[in-house]
A and B are shown apart, each in its own frame.
Chain A
Amino acid sequence: MNHINLDQKDVFLILQDASFPISRILLAENEEQAVENGKSLGFPLVMKIDSPEISHKSDCGGVKTGIQNEGELRLSYRQVMHDAHTAYPQATLHGVLLQKMENGREIIIGAKKDPTFGHMIMFGLGGIMVEVMKDVSFRISPLKESDAMEMIQEIKGYAILKGTRGEKSVDIKSLTTILLLLSDLLSKKPEISELDFNPVMVSEHGAIIVDARISL
């Protein structure tokens, strides 16, 4: 079975329509636009090369994180464009994508269509925790609020989310909100076969989806 991966722009439109909290991404085609867009997003920023031919962006210096001010932004723009061109002289470079750098814990939220039970939703700590520990929980969609809460509490890393050694708890409610919005989205769009929100960044102030993929 072959999946069709939705275009990044369509993914963001779908999520925006469904009122998911998503981190805005702005394209800058030149340095001045980068400054303008960067200021409107607010520092610190993440910058990524935008080119249909370059899939492993960080390997060619195509990603910069922690950009703190206009000076660093200008410098980063020139570096990213130059390095990408050096690595891939034939590639079309649309410019750079800018996104505000979000703080907090990395979370992964996903969904997959199961042939027997329909959509199944996954929740877990993101990054290395999901890669190595596979510390994730599952529920069949649609979710009740208690299911969403249980999914979060069930993972071993729950203690990390609740805060250890005097840290404040992250905003758990903001995570259940995303899980329940996802449950609604899957009911409305049964054609979705797989979906990843990876990462979702969560802090004591709330949760925001930084990157998302959807395939049909």
Chain B
Amino acid sequence: MNLDKLFKPKSIAVIGASRDETAVGFGILKNLIKGTVFENDGATGFPGKVFPVNPKADTLLDQKCYSSVLDIPDPVDLAVIVLPAKIVPVIMKQCVNKQVGAAIIISAGFGESGAEGKKLQDEVVSIAQKGNIRIVGPNCLGVIRPHACMNASFAPTVPPKGDIAFISQSGALVDSVVDWAVERDYGFSTIVSYGNAADLALHDYLQWLADDEETKTIALYIEGIQDGKKFMEVAREVSKKKPIIALKGGKTNAGSQAISSHTGSLAGSYEAYKAAFHQSGVIIAEDLNELFSTAFTLANEPSSGKRMVIITNAGGPGVCTADYCADLGIELVEIKEETLAKLDASGVMHPAYSRRNPLDLVGDALPIRYQTALDILLGETYIDGAIVIQTLQTMTNPLQDAAVIIAAKKKNPPKLIIAVFMGGKYTKEAVHMLENNGVPTFNDPHDAAKALKKVIEYHSRKKT
């Protein structure tokens, strides 16, 4: 299916654009023209054409305003509709006449609001289908494509460019994620809030993203799926190309259904979702933090990381990490004598270094010790990757340690490297540098181990 008019439009009309700064129709127009409503140095406006549509204005945000989409002289690829639900059918007919390629219906008051709204929604979809217009929403926040500088949403701003697509049933969740992403410098390729999914459904977005060059990993927030079988069929194929990771909201059972069997009492809807995700290769996240940290790890780690070493400058965190790995079934390899001989011969190891996995470099480790350990260990064919832990002592140099790790990653592309930089104020800059260079970095070793486990899970399932 071709959704290029939606995701790669050359021209966008905002139908229901407003001069009222508190109106959604203003926010979307400004997001398109400036890239952001809130102050954000990283934001740029949409490079294609933006046409505000509002019969009561001549210009909006210095753009010529049209009284109807039909008055726009140029072709319109994408229409963003921000008008009361009851007039949307009329507007959709105009869009059909204008041969608009795709529409995002922001407005609420459709299927989510009861039988009347559902009727209206069906009417709008049937009008759009006659004109081959695919619809996002209604009742949604919109679509953001940072690489194309397209912010067709009323999120506060645009997140940085990256390689993770986030498809969310909740629009409000997207707002918060965008704010968080700007602060963290966490990049996205695509964000879609799909609302009622009256036309385009989750599986349609998955199918399109499977071939999107900017997207490496797909993160989902799901509350309910309409066509479960279709979702499984599509996800099974897409997950072979790109990792899909999902957070399911609404895990508890309403329990309204009469249950007559033993199985019935145990087989809740979350069990069905978990089984369906598992069978279609979709990784399950337990919370938002895990959703995004795992998505980042999966996007940046192409290898499976089955046999791992821990390299640390601190005993305690090394032991904790080893415990977490053991609990999760992550294999920590035994470091062979020949490898230890190389470490000994390097002349940079502390006389009391641990000589085993976790490899404790001792608290006074300078960057050269990390570098030597990474070089020797990742050079071994029996080691797939390393978790590198840094705690801060007086002589520790976080930025140089980060540079060493980044260099090791470049030198050993098939190996998996995860950094655990424990700390706060004085390690923040190094963490930022690591993440900007595609090294998944964690503050808590438990989170690191959990993300690693998901990577191993993804790669082992991909093989089957």
Mask, A173-185, CB within 8 Å of B = 1, is 0000000000000
Please pick, from A108, A130, A139, the residue contacting B275 in the complex, using a CB distance under 8 A. Answer: A139
* Complex Cα gap A82–B170 (Å): 65
The chain B residue sitting closest to A139, CB to CB, is B275
CB atoms of A110 and B273 under 8 A apart: no
Q: Does B229 contact A (CB under 8 A)?
A: yes
Complex partner residue of A117 from B261, B266, B272, CB under 8 angstroms: B272
Q: Which of chain A's residues have a CB closer than 8 A to the CB of B261? A: 110, 112, 194-196, 213, 215
Question: Which residues of B lie under 8 Å from residue A146 when comparing CB positions?
Answer: 464
Contact: B258 with A2, CB < 8 Å? yes
Interface bits B250-291 vs A (CB < 8 Å: 1, else 0)? 000000011111111011010111111011000000000000
- B407 interfacial by beta-carbon distance below 8 Å: no
B267–A117 contact, CB under 8 A?
A: no
Residues on A with C-beta less than 8 A from B275 are 117, 120, 138-140
Contacts of B172 in A (CB 8 A): none
A9 within 8 A of B: no
User: How far is the CB of B239 from the nearest CB of chain A, in Å?
Assistant: 15
B232 and A194: CB pair below 8 A? no
Given known contacts A1-B257, A116-B228, A118-B228, A110 and B272 CB-to-CB distance under 8 angstroms: no
Question: Distance in Å from the Cβ of A168 to the closest Cβ of chain B?
Answer: 27
Whether A114 contacts B267 by the Cβ 8 Å rule is yes
Contact A215 to B229, CB < 8 A, known contacts A117-B272, A146-B464:
no
Rounded to whole angstroms, the CA-CA distance of A147 and B267 in the bound complex is: 17
What is the size category of the interface that chain B forms with chain A?
20 to 34
Nearest-neighbour CB distance to chain B for A144, whole angstroms, equals: 9
Q: How far is the CA of A136 from the CA of B275 in the complex (A)?
A: 12
Query: A65: CB under 8 A from chain B?
Result: no
Q: Chain A 181-201, CB within 8 Å of chain B: the 1/0 string?
A: 000000000000011101000
What residues of B have a CB within 8 angstroms of the CB of A1 in the complex? Answer: 257-258
How many A residues have CB within 8 A of the partner chain? Answer: 29
Asked if B279 and A110 make an inter-chain contact with CB atoms under 8 angstroms apart, the answer reads: no
Do B258 and A196 touch (CB < 8 A)? no
B225 within 8 A of A: yes
B258 A117 Cβ-Cβ under 8 A: no
A111 located at the interface, meaning its Cβ lies under 8 Å from any Cβ of chain B in the complex: yes
Q: Is B228 a contact of A117 with CB atoms below 8 Å?
A: yes
User: What residues of B have a CB within 8 angstroms of the CB of A56 in the complex?
Assistant: none
What is the CB-to-nearest-CB distance from A120 to chain B, in angstroms, rounded to a whole number? Answer: 5
Interchain nearest-CB distance for A210 vs B (Å) = 14
Task: State in angstroms the CA–CA spacing of A214 and B261 once bound together.
Answer: 8
Q: Bound complex: CA of A111 vs CA of B273, how far in Å?
A: 15
Given contacts A114-B272, A120-B272, A130-B266, contact A194 B229 (CB under 8 A): no
A122 at the interface (CB under 8 A from B): yes
B267 contact from A5, A110, A116, Cβ within 8 A: A110
B232 touches A122 (CB 8 A): no
Contact status A3-B269, CB under 8 Å = no
Within 8 A of A (CB), among B222-255: 224-226, 228-229, 232
Q: Is the CB of A120 within 8 A of B267?
A: yes
Contact with B along A96-114 (1 / 0, CB 8 A): 0000000000001011101
Whether B271 lies near A120 (C-beta < 8 A) is yes
> Smallest CB–CB gap between B262 and chain A, Å?
5
Q: Which residues of A contact B267 (CB under 8 A)?
A: 110, 112, 114, 120, 122, 138
Which residues of chain B in 48-96 are interfacial with respect to chain A, using CB atoms and an 8 Å cutoff?
none
Docked-complex contact B264 and A138, CB < 8 angstroms:
no
Interchain CB contact under 8 A, A110 and B258: no
A196 touches B229 (CB 8 A): no
CB distance from A151 to the nearest CB of B (A): 9
Query: Could you tell me if A117 and B276 are in contact, using CB atoms closer than 8 angstroms?
Result: yes
> In the complex the two chains form, is A117's CB within 8 Å of B260's CB?
no
With A1-B257, A116-B225, A117-B229 known as contacts, the answer to whether A194 contacts B266 (CB < 8 A) is no
Is there an interface contact between B260 and A140, defined as CB atoms closer than 8 Å?
no
When chains A and B are docked, how far (Å) is the Cα of A112 from the Cα of B271?
Answer: 11
Q: Are A122 and B276 neighbours in the complex by a CB distance under 8 Å?
A: no
Note all chain A residues with C-beta closer than 8 A to B273: 116-117
Contact between chains at A196 and B263 (CB < 8 Å): yes
B229: which A residues are within 8 A, CB to CB? 117-118
Q: Is A205 an interface residue (CB 8 A)?
A: no
B263 and A110 contact, CB distance less than 8 A:
yes
How far, in angstroms, from A3 to B260 measured CA to CA in the complex? 7
Given contacts A111-B263, A112-B261, A122-B263, contact A139 B279 (CB under 8 A): yes
29 residue pairs bridging A and B, Cβ less than 8 Å apart? A3-B258, A3-B260, A5-B260, A108-B262, A108-B263, A110-B264, A112-B261, A112-B263, A112-B264, A114-B269, A116-B273, A117-B272, A118-B228, A118-B229, A120-B267, A120-B272, A122-B263, A122-B267, A130-B262, A134-B266, A138-B271, A138-B274, A140-B228, A140-B275, A194-B259, A194-B261, A194-B263, A196-B261, A196-B262
Beyond A117-B228, A130-B266, A196-B261, list 19 extra A-B contacts (CB 8 Å). Answer: A2-B258, A3-B258, A3-B260, A5-B260, A116-B225, A117-B276, A122-B263, A122-B267, A134-B266, A138-B272, A138-B275, A139-B279, A146-B464, A194-B259, A194-B261, A194-B264, A195-B261, A195-B263, A198-B262
